[in-house]
Amino acid sequence: MHRRSHVKEPPNKPKLKSLHVSPTNIHGSINLSFNPPRYLHKFFLIAKIGLSQTAKHNQVAQSEKICLVGMSVNGKCPKDFWSTLGAAVTLVEMSDVACAASGKAGGFLALDWCDGGPLEELARVSFNFHRSLAEDFDGARSYGYRAVTTLSLTVTESESSAGSSALPSWVNGAASDAKTIGTTETTAQVHPQLFTRRLVDIAVERHGVSVVIAKLERVEVEEEEGRVGSVVLEGGEVLEADAVVLALGPWSSKLVMLSSLFRVYGLKAHSIVLEPREASLISPHALFVKYYCSKTKRGRPLDPEVYPRPNGEVYVCGMSKEEEVAEDPAEIRGESESIAMLKRVAKSVSRYLGEGEARVKAEQACFLPCTEDGLPVIGEVPGVKGCYVATGHNCWGILNGPATGAVLSELILDGVSTIVDLKRFSPNRFLPPSIP
């Protein structure tokens, strides 16, 4: 997975119980039962947005009960939204916060890399939300938010260092063709795990959001109105809900309610986290690398990415492929060959990142949720009033999470998004064309 290939765009089943949903008849569903893997209960927080006036003019919202299931980074907690909304919000979680892609991704943010494509508005809005969130919640200190200069370069393994004035001094491997592709005005980063956990804490401590650690058993829909009614947890506990939001990432395919409408598949991406001994020499430059394994430069190059972090870590990722999603995020393991290749990449980019010079803090993998048309799915589930979906963000999940949360909060409050035009992202695009 190389983000540069997405600059104009963003890139198996558990045993089912009594699920009464078919691709052609969603309205008749009463008991949307399923047995999801543990990962499906990730946190979701709504973005910092200017919805104060919207909430004040929506009196129904003051008594709403909202259940957020499977929410990870597709939205973040606002500075004042929760208290203004007045809704009783419950987050259902069965595993650790940020235990999958929302904790193991790179956290790269870009203002204009999606310009000219359908994600342009969503990405620009969300990039600015990230800036605002960092100001409000001390992001620089608490979750590693900072502006970065972003470079593209070519590295050929085993070649001697060519040197270039365009490269920072710590990039002392066989690098060439360096170009600036992002400035401190247009690119930035966060530490995804710290980002997610910080905002979860804020939602709970400052705004009274409830967190329930339990396994989701089913979503129930009222038969007559076709409206979501409650979420039932394992053991029989019932959470009544006026609105339910499902952001299941690549595990969306395991919920027939969604998989009967559209396909979301998992792209397995590997990464390593290094702690160089000379961390003070590593400047804030994000690197997008075209990597050749031999001097002949034959074959397709690899496309790893290297992100130094302000806490002294250096994150290196790449080696992606479509693969069956594991039942449990705790079961996800990186393949040894892919991890070994990332270590070779790191050493070839900089001697400070090689064996003996940097400690390997983590060897890991996670799944990015992808759709057939390359666009996220954001909106109300067709045929189920009050049930919303947010998934399929591919490699831009960390970037577009805050804006996704913002538009979902608008949908829940007013039934329409004014922040971003959601037409291209609506799940209705997967419905068969109507017959005249």
Percent of the chain with pLDDT over 90: 56
- What is the token pair recorded at 23? 């691709």
Q: Which CATH fold topology does 16-117+192-263+374-430 show?
A: FAD/NAD(P)-binding domain (3.50.50)
How confident is the model at residue 114, as a pLDDT?
A: 98
- What is the token pair recorded at 430? 């997967």
Reported as a single tens digit per residue, the pLDDT across 416-433 is 999 999 999 999 999 998
- Least confident among 39-43, 60-64, 85-89, 94-98: 39-43
Say how far apart CA 80 and CA 57 lie, in whole Å: 16
User: Can you give the three-state secondary structure of 183-210, one letter per residue?
Assistant: CCCCEEECCHHHHHHHHHHHHHHHHCCE
Q: What is the mean pLDDT of residues 273-301?
A: 90
Say how far apart CA 419 and CA 58 lie, in whole Å: 17
How confident is the model at residue 87, as a pLDDT?
A: 72
- Confidence label for 84 from pLDDT (cuts 50, 70 and 90): very low
Q: Is the pLDDT of residue 359 over 80?
A: yes
57-66, 170-179, 180-189: range with highest mean pLDDT: 180-189
Percent of the chain with pLDDT over 70: 78
The reply to whether CATH 3.30.2000 applies to domain 149-183+266-371 is no
Q: What is the mean pLDDT of residues 350-356?
A: 96
How confident is the model at residue 34, as a pLDDT?
A: 32
Q: What is the mean pLDDT of residues 47-74?
A: 49
Torsion, Cα of 397, 398, 402, 403 (10° steps) = -40
- What is the token pair recorded at 43? 């946190």
Q: What is the mean pLDDT of residues 25-30?
A: 31
- Which ranges in the chain are annotated with CATH 3.30.9? 149-183+266-371
How confident is the model at residue 95, as a pLDDT?
A: 74
Q: Closest Cα to residue 75, out of 423, 412, 382, 431?
A: 412
Q: What are the phi and psi torsion angles at 388 (to 5°)?
A: -120, 155
Q: Is the pLDDT of residue 40 over 90?
A: no
How confident is the model at residue 436, as a pLDDT?
A: 52
Q: What is the mean pLDDT of residues 306-317?
A: 98
Helix 120-136 vs helix 397-414: crossing angle, to nearest 10: 90
351 vs 73 pLDDT, higher one = 351
How confident is the model at residue 28, as a pLDDT?
A: 32
Reported as a single tens digit per residue, the pLDDT across 196-222 is 889 888 888 887 888 887 777 778 899
Rounded to 5°, the CA angle 209-212-216 comes to 130
- Which ranges in the chain are annotated with CATH 3.50.50.60? 16-117+192-263+374-430
Q: Closest Cα to residue 61, out of 388, 381, 410?
A: 410
31 vs 71 pLDDT, higher one = 71
Q: Is the pLDDT of residue 21 over 70?
A: no
How confident is the model at residue 88, as a pLDDT?
A: 81
- Confidence label for 77 from pLDDT (cuts 50, 70 and 90): very low
- Confidence label for 297 from pLDDT (cuts 50, 70 and 90): low
How confident is the model at residue 138, as a pLDDT?
A: 96
Q: Pick left, alpha or beta for residue 355 (phi over 0 → left; psi -120 to 50 → alpha; otherwise beta).
A: beta
DSSP run (H or E) holding 178: strand 175-182
